[in-house]
Amino acid sequence: MSDNAPQYQHFIPQFILKNFGHPYKCPKAPASGSKCKKHHHEKGKYPDDPVVNCLELLPEAYKIEELSVQRVCGLVDMYTDQSPNAHLPRELEGKFSRLEGKTSVVIRKIIGAHQRGEGKVILTRTQQTVLRKFVYLLNQRGSGFFKTFNCNSINEYKNNDRDLLEEFMDRHGIQRPLDVWLGALSAIIDLDMSVTANWQQTLKSTVYCGLFLHFVENITEFWMSFCTPSSEDQGFILSDTGSHVYEGPTVDFQDKATGEFLCLAPRFHLFAPISPRLMIVLRCQHLPEPHEDNNPEIKAMRQLQREIEIDLIYGPGTTSILEDLPVHKAINSYSTLVNGIWTKRPGWDEQLRQTDTFSFPFFKISTRHARIINGLLLDHAFHGLTVIFNKKTAFLDLLEWFLTEPCEVGKRLGGEHHAEQMRYLTRLTALMHAEGRNISLRTTNKPVSNHLDIESYKNQNNTAARWLEGLDKSPADKEEAKDSREQGHDAKIDANQQSKVDLQDEPDEERNNIEDHPIELDPTAKFGDGSRDDQLVAMIYEMLAYRWALPDLGPKIMLRAQVTPENVNESCVMLRIWLINGQLDRNTELPGTDRQERLLRRYQLQQSPILFWLFLKQCRYLIWKSELKEAKTGDVFPGEGPEDEYLNEMTTVEPHDLNIKMWKAINRDIALSRKLGEELSPAELTSPNASEFSTQHQSMRAIKDVLD
């Protein structure tokens, strides 16, 4: 084939498809096993060629068909670099081929152990890393991401993170969104994730932040298990959208003004079928893990983290439909179980190695659990074109259960895709009738909330994401980023794509995962030291973004030289982060009480004087609102203070020194107004009752309810 000829490129590799396949038998062959020489055959469907049973979701009707593994779950030239200056247009396809070669060896080992009736399979750290990277790329390389990024210019890009993507493209001289996606795939394939590699920092410096965060979340926030149906009559299906399916209850919003939809959901499980009898299940670290939960300290810390990350935004008691899935983490070679609790293996030198091994059991799951997993894949299959299955009768039984079950797994209609879902379910029902299954479809409607200004929510998240990302940059980098931002458009970013903000100055590559770390977690490792606090604070901030009130600082503030609306937004972020740190300091369950002190030093060192001055004005506004509530002041925010005198020194005094002077000035002023003879601590300046200040009442009360 010519190098320039179109090439069909799979997003689900053929070695996976073949696990679901069988040799093609020509229906016109004169006898079983004989060759059919005279009959014309489609390409890839000659006798004994590998084929798969498929439900094709065609626009005109749905039908069951045998398809060649060569021509299913792929697109033409989806990984080909078609830019004019591409030296090796199919370099990425070659990289995928080499990764798939390594992964196929690992998956053959897993399937072989299962077929031999072994209760577990043992993988080295290197094999596990290859598999985790492959499973992530199954998610990232699919048709959905391709359609999103397949644009020749940023003007054609339709996702909500367009402005952030445009800034990244401008910084790196990239012309097409597609090249951002292709570059990220290539960088992840090439990424060294060995125990000595600083892989997060390496990737963060080269890959678009939305894709970087997506990858880090997948690797660090989930752990891997292998599941098999306990019933021999059951099997897993493989849909062309299945690698995109996250399990978790969804909450739908629609903006009353614009009609725009937003769907938020916790991510509890992710699925990757590798054969009809084996499913890779990635399980969220917030869910129960029996061995870790035998340690009361770890269990309590998990519960606290779950309350903050899940309950605070989705409501108390938000659970996974697979909460009771009978799985646990792999058993590594440097740990042992003592009375059901992980401990270090005697003699271990605490050095992680590529030769470390991990014992993964094959978990036999019930019919109910297997149906739920398959049902989730079916419920989202309307986004794609193909559902692959092993045996037709078992598949029709599954469809009958799915279409008639009482909407516990899916078929909840509402939100942006209501009409598409209904059309999909109606056509599935028609297919079942054609197959002689006289069933009645059961669906339900789910509520859609109109109590969210989606545009404002996204803009606030966008401002927060930029500001938080900039905390670990040098002042020069930040000024460059600011110049780039001022040339861009208004921020619009989907909150789901910013669910994790990484602020680690020195990223911890291992992240409390028993596949890598053996034993009990020290509470200070999670909450008590710098970068971990940053992660927690950023997480809380984004959970509460839609609740924050925007202050009106008045024209005197806004008319100051060099003050922009963006400056005001960033100062709002600074204040909210400040208040969250204060709440964490006051929580007795968390070690450490100097978060605000450390944050103040960072603000003084890293922020420009105009931004730090606006932050101080936000503090003044908060205090004024508190005094207004107590009828101790007038109803117009005065805003002035001795810190204003230093604005004229911005060009003559070092920014760090100027910020310190402004802090001392406002501190003395407020201390005098309260008739105190000494300076106030950071906590005293904007508290003792930060949660009661009317401007931030709802948000800070929500934090307090969770943390106290």
Q: Is residue 249 part of a domain?
A: no
Whole-angstrom distance, CA of residue 168 vs CA of residue 155? 14
Domain end, chosen from 18, 41, 76, is at 76
Residue 162 dihedral angles phi and psi, to the nearest 5°: -55, -45
Under 8 Å CB-to-CB from 247, ≥6 apart: which residues? 267, 268, 269, 270, 271, 320, 321, 322, 376
**What amino acid is encoded at 368 in this protein?**
R
Q: Say what the pLDDT of residue 514 is.
A: 31
- Of 88 and 352, more confident: 352
Domain containing 20 equals 8-76
CA atoms within 13 A on the CB side of 515: 32
Do residues 209 and 493 lie in contact, with contact meaning Cβ atoms separated by under 8 Å? no
Q: Is residue 116 part of a domain?
A: no
The confidence band for 464, taking pLDDT boundaries of 50, 70 and 90, is low
pLDDT at residue 339 above 70?
A: yes
- Of 294 and 536, more confident: 294
Cα dist from 681 to 594, 604, 613, 640, 677, whole Å: 10, 15, 18, 21, 13
Whole-angstrom distance, CA of residue 705 vs CA of residue 700? 9
For 582-638, how does the pLDDT look when each residue is reduced to its tens digit (9 = 90+)? Answer: 877 776 666 666 788 888 888 888 888 888 888 888 888 887 777 665 555 555 556
* Count: domains in the chain: 2
User: What is the model's pTM?
Assistant: 0.73
For 641-695, how does the pLDDT look when each residue is reduced to its tens digit (9 = 90+)? Answer: 888 888 777 767 888 889 999 999 888 888 887 766 667 778 777 664 433 333 3
Sign of CA dihedral 380, 383, 388, 389: positive
Q: What percentage of residues in the chain have a pLDDT greater than 90?
A: 46
Q: Is residue 534 part of a domain?
A: yes
Do residues 462 and 494 lie in contact, with contact meaning Cβ atoms separated by under 8 Å? no
Domain end, chosen from 76, 92, 108, is at 76
CA atoms within 13 A on the CB side of 124: 11
Q: Is residue 441 part of a domain?
A: no
Residue in the block written with tokens 């300076």: 679
Q: Is residue 359 part of a domain?
A: no
Whole-angstrom distance, CA of residue 555 vs CA of residue 563? 11
CA dihedral 326, 328, 330, 331 (to 10 degrees): -110
For 537-572, how does the pLDDT look when each residue is reduced to its tens digit (9 = 90+)? Answer: 666 665 555 455 555 666 666 556 567 777 777 888
Q: Is residue 589 part of a domain?
A: yes
State the average pLDDT over residues 25-41: 66
Q: Say what the pLDDT of residue 521 is.
A: 25
pLDDT at residue 247 above 90?
A: yes
Q: Is residue 92 part of a domain?
A: no
Q: Mean pLDDT check: name the lowest of 312-316, 472-476, 663-667.
A: 472-476
For 381-419, how does the pLDDT look when each residue is reduced to its tens digit (9 = 90+)? Answer: 999 999 999 999 999 999 999 999 999 999 999 999 999
pLDDT at residue 125 above 70?
A: yes
Range with the largest mean pLDDT of 139-143, 272-276, 513-517: 272-276
Q: Say what the pLDDT of residue 484 is.
A: 41
The confidence band for 699, taking pLDDT boundaries of 50, 70 and 90, is very low
Q: Is residue 502 part of a domain?
A: yes
Domain end, chosen from 47, 76, 105, is at 76
For 38-61, how does the pLDDT look when each residue is reduced to its tens digit (9 = 90+)? Answer: 666 777 788 889 999 999 999 988
Task: Give the mean pLDDT of the chain.
Answer: 81
Facing residues of 448 across strands? Answer: 252
Closest CA to 533 of 707, 293, 300: 707
